[in-house]
Structure 1
Amino acid sequence: MSLTIEKTAIWVRACEVEELEPCWGEVALLGRRQVALFRLADQEVYAVDHHDPHTGAPVMARGIVGSRGDRPSIASPLHKEVYDLGTGECFTDAALTLRTYRTRIVGGMIEVELEQ
């Protein structure tokens, strides 16, 4: 017999939308996680792990925001690997993946979905 442990998700408030400059990353400490937040438009916010998947360094909020076609991206400031902000897929090295988090805006506040 095997036990399946279900993980539950909670929404955690990070900051007000207006506190983020468009196309610039900021770090939020949510519980014990460092999450990099990126506001691309008034109602378009992405959240990813702040730690670079290649080196483990906490630098992703200082990455370069851009796009690959119509897919918003972030390039690591260290070795310039480029990741899809929505899926975490690495465009430049298929072996790497950046953890992403769902976001929503409620009453002008950015909330990030975290697993407990």
Structure 2
Amino acid sequence: MNNDRLPQSWMPVCALDDIVPNTGVCALVNGGQVAVFHVAHGDGSVFAIDNFDPGSQAAVLSRGLVGNLGERIVVASPIYKHHFDLRTGECIEAPEHSVNAYPVRVESGQVWVAA
């Protein structure tokens, strides 16, 4: 359920240094929970997806384990261990449980998420 619409605005969520590499944090963006991840390997990318795991009906994705399945950078939900692609929000094991992915940028050490 990749969110391909153009962003309305950008919101600052935290300093990049506030996110321990290869983990996520939860941020409130326009009244909704977004999981923001700092992936340390490669170019140090930052990703954002919905924090709500449709499979478990819990807001837990920011607490999942970051890793990869082949070329895909993923987070494993801490409840049922479904893997979500951090680039697209696709749930690999159950595509019907895919979540939105959001554009993210880092400027002057600050993480911004498209709202």
- When the two structures are superposed, what TM-score results if normalisation uses the length of structure 1? 0.86
Is the alpha carbon distance of 1:31 and 1:49 closer, same or farther for their aligned partners in structure 2, counting shifts above 3 Å?
A: same
CA shift, 1:55, in A, is 2.6
Return the alpha-carbon distance in structure 1 between the equivalents of residues 21 and 65 of structure 2: 12
Instruction: Give aligned-pair identity as a percent.
Output: 36
CA shift, 1:94, in A, is 2.4
CA shift, 1:90, in A, is 1.3
Equivalent residue pairs, number: 109
CA shift, 1:29, in A, is 1.4
CA shift, 1:8, in A, is 5.8
CA shift, 1:88, in A, is 1.0
Q: Which residue matches 2:62?
A: 61
- Across the aligned residues of Structure 1 and Structure 2, the Cα RMSD in angstroms comes to 1.8
Q: Which moved more, 1:35-44 or 1:62-71?
A: 35-44
Q: Which residue matches 1:108?
A: 109
Return the alpha-carbon distance in structure 2 between the equivalents of residues 51 and 36 of structure 1: 8
Return the alpha-carbon distance in structure 2 between the equivalents of residues 94 and 62 of structure 1: 20
- When the two structures are superposed, what TM-score results if normalisation uses the length of structure 2? 0.86
CA deviations over 1:37-72 (Å, ceiling 9, x no partner): 110136410111111021321111111111111210
Looking at CA atoms only, which structure, 1 or 2, has the larger radius of gyration?
1
Is the alpha carbon distance of 1:8 and 1:93 closer, same or farther for their aligned partners in structure 2, counting shifts above 3 Å?
A: closer
Return the alpha-carbon distance in structure 2 between the equivalents of residues 8 and 101 of structure 1: 9
Residues 74-89 of structure 1 aligned to structure 2 (within 5 Å): 74-89=75-90
Task: Tell me if structure 1 keeps the 8 A contact 2:7–2:114.
Answer: no
Unaligned 5+ runs, structure 2: none
Determine if the alignment matches structure 1 residue 10 to structure 2 residue 9: yes
Q: Which residue matches 2:30?
A: 31
Return the alpha-carbon distance in structure 1 between the equivalents of residues 95 and 33 of structure 2: 24
Moved over 4 A (4+): none
One-letter amino acid of the structure 1 residue matched with residue 54 of structure 2: P
Unaligned 5+ runs, structure 1: 1-5
Return the alpha-carbon distance in structure 2 between the equivalents of residues 75 and 69 of structure 1: 14
